[in-house]
Structure 1
């Protein structure tokens, strides 16, 4: 294990600085030493605003710098491909966003570069690290619901509506050139969760469509060209059937819910929007009589509310803080020779293959085997 802190360079003064920077800074043995944007003036301002020592305006220079160990790649998928490839080519450890890539060719290229580099590479699918979901998986693995019969996961929220855009910084979702859609963005996060819980997917069928034809943004109108809802039926390699629903234009949507049931009972994790440590709750019921199947809230065990070598607090409302820090901690530990970092690029490639297969299945109206 190294005695020196691991040095992180973050590409992005938006999501990367707002969400990732506090999570990296919550870890022992890690220092954020650099930030990169596309222009010298914005890089200098970001470094000053976020109290980061070094500013870069060329991600290739950041990737090549010998005083950086980990490159955290923010921004949208088409831009991240070159960033990831430069970092892996320089032998860096890499953290990459979701969706993993804009298309399957880029996904395969990044996975191949990672295998060649032999470094630690992880993606931003941190739902699996939310304490309620960590406990849910542990209870499933311990047999609390008995033999697992099925599961479904849904993320249905009004990110965009005819009256307002609630996430103006994500208008890039409207353009297919960015590798975006409800199934690719929201769906990728949920697919990572399903694969983490139940193993790889063997086959998929899907239905996807665009319902809301216009988004109002700052007095202008954006015309989206990608599906805003996706329904997937999945068959895992184990034979388990699961279901996924993604919708980013659902007014009054119930947010996030992840349910699994079996021969003894059912468990369900719920969150008002994206699942976070502070607002995701766990519910369950075991073999009730017909008509009395009410689920009761299950307390989260203290051991799931903390990460070794991390000072993030579970009930703080910052975006993804503890869950992100937990994933970052697996990177730190794996780099230092302890444990395995997850979700890695191998899982990310598999998820991207499922996403692409789902799009094909929707177009061809049939099941696709992976």
Structure 2
């Protein structure tokens, strides 16, 4: 007997429609049936523009609609909380953005609601599904590096500079009421990757500060009130030390890089900005000679460039397409009782606990247990 498709309702005609919609539509067994914005006219236009059957302007009605199985919650953290709670309260499966929440209380409340609902709940930390990262983890787990000694991860880009704002749609990052900062936004994505690779974090030391005091935007001046850089030293429960750097105002920043080393060698994933399937490259070396450890390009194995029941193509440049589709595919399969969806709300809560511990560590200038 054929299994009916899972019906998805997307909240957001911006990131949700631009990035999530094509990823959902690349999957077998999925049908995007509804979209929600804050006003009737924008909802109707989004439904028409993207060829979606139903338009909502009240997320509560979408959440309780019996013809929707999965609610994909876009927008910024303070708005998403009520959306997630409404969806979980109605027994829906939920896809939630990053940062997970605006504060730890909201994070814990959402996780409690998830446990009560007993549904599948996943977060938008899709770096771990980028093929280069999938292969990097497989090689690490298989012992290519030998005994693990440590890891560095950095995401340093000029989203904002004194000359221009390169991402005008993200000026909400400036307001602490939105639960934003370099450590919370860029940092959360990297922390998910570190936890995925190396397990939970036991303690953190950190330094966070605001360097660029003004962002120009269309003749106006945005004055941010959150840290635009964060440095974290992490001690995982396994004892492994790792280090994280997040900076969204670094002119000439190297983009993203993730380096892991051990007794036999080093692996490094690199991307020009946010890691995507089409532009993240993997490098490695086992040369122990001083000054001669060239990092050689490592081809990605074909098995990491495809997902069952997914038509997304890994080398297509659409924003996050293949990695997002991979996360969605795991979610689809978990709903049908096949495998486990990841990164789930349990991982998201732990990452948020690390984020909050890092804020305290920076304020108090000491190590904080997570």
- Work out whether the TM-score is over 0.5: yes
Q: What is the alpha-carbon distance in structure 2 between the residues aligned to residue 5 and residue 219 of structure 1?
A: 48
1:319 correspondence with 2:340: no
Residues 91, 117 of structure 1: 8 Å contact kept: yes
**Cα offsets for 1:338-369 (capped at 9, x unmatched):** 00000000000000000000000000000000
Residue aligned with 2:150, SS: strand
Q: CA deviation at 1:2?
A: 6.8
CA 1:2/1:344 → structure 2, altered by over 3 Å: closer, same or farther?
A: farther
Residues 306, 313 of structure 1: 8 Å contact kept: yes
Q: What is the alpha-carbon distance in structure 2 between the residues aligned to residue 145 and residue 266 of structure 1?
A: 6
Corresponding residue number in structure 1 for 2:104: 104
Corresponding residue number in structure 1 for 2:241: 241
Map 1:79-94 to 2 at 5 A: 79-94=79-94
Residue aligned with 1:153, SS: strand
Residue aligned with 1:361, SS: helix
Q: What is the alpha-carbon distance in structure 2 between the residues aligned to residue 308 and residue 265 of structure 1?
A: 32
**Cα offsets for 1:276-295 (capped at 9, x unmatched):** 00000000001431121111
Q: What is the alpha-carbon distance in structure 2 between the residues aligned to residue 217 and residue 181 of structure 1?
A: 19
Q: What is the alpha-carbon distance in structure 1 between the residues aligned to residue 329 and residue 85 of structure 2?
A: 23
Taking only aligned residues, the RMSD between alpha carbons, in angstroms, comes to: 0.7
Map 1:244-283 to 2 at 5 A: 244-283=244-283
Residues 283, 295 of structure 1: 8 Å contact kept: yes
Residue aligned with 1:333, SS: helix
What residue ranges of structure 2 are gaps of 5+ in the alignment?
none
Q: What is the alpha-carbon distance in structure 1 between the residues aligned to residue 152 and residue 68 of structure 2?
A: 41
Residue aligned with 1:166, SS: coil
1:43 correspondence with 2:43: yes
Q: TM-score, normalised on structure 2?
A: 0.99
Map 1:73-84 to 2 at 5 A: 73-84=73-84
Residue aligned with 2:184, SS: coil
Residues 10, 17 of structure 1: 8 Å contact kept: yes
Map 1:223-242 to 2 at 5 A: 223-242=223-242
Corresponding residue number in structure 1 for 2:52: 52
Corresponding residue number in structure 1 for 2:13: 13
Q: What is the alpha-carbon distance in structure 2 between the residues aligned to residue 339 and residue 186 of structure 1?
A: 28
| Count of matched residue pairs | 370
Corresponding residue number in structure 2 for 1:295: 295
Corresponding residue number in structure 1 for 2:127: 127
Residues 287, 294 of structure 2: 8 Å contact kept: no
Corresponding residue number in structure 2 for 1:141: 141
**Cα offsets for 1:253-305 (capped at 9, x unmatched):** 00000000000000000000000000000000014311211110000000101
Q: TM-score, normalised on structure 1?
A: 0.99
**Cα offsets for 1:145-178 (capped at 9, x unmatched):** 1000000100000000000000000000000000
Residues 2, 336 of structure 1: 8 Å contact kept: no
Q: What is the alpha-carbon distance in structure 1 between the residues aligned to residue 287 and residue 102 of structure 2?
A: 44
Q: What is the alpha-carbon distance in structure 2 between the residues aligned to residue 23 and residue 45 of structure 1?
A: 21
What residue ranges of structure 1 are gaps of 5+ in the alignment?
none
Runs of 4+ in 1 over 2 A off after TM superposition: none
Q: What is the alpha-carbon distance in structure 1 between the residues aligned to residue 122 and residue 95 of structure 2?
A: 5
Q: What is the alpha-carbon distance in structure 2 between the residues aligned to residue 247 and residue 289 of structure 1?
A: 32
Residue aligned with 1:21, SS: helix
Residues 181, 226 of structure 1: 8 Å contact kept: yes
Corresponding residue number in structure 1 for 2:197: 197
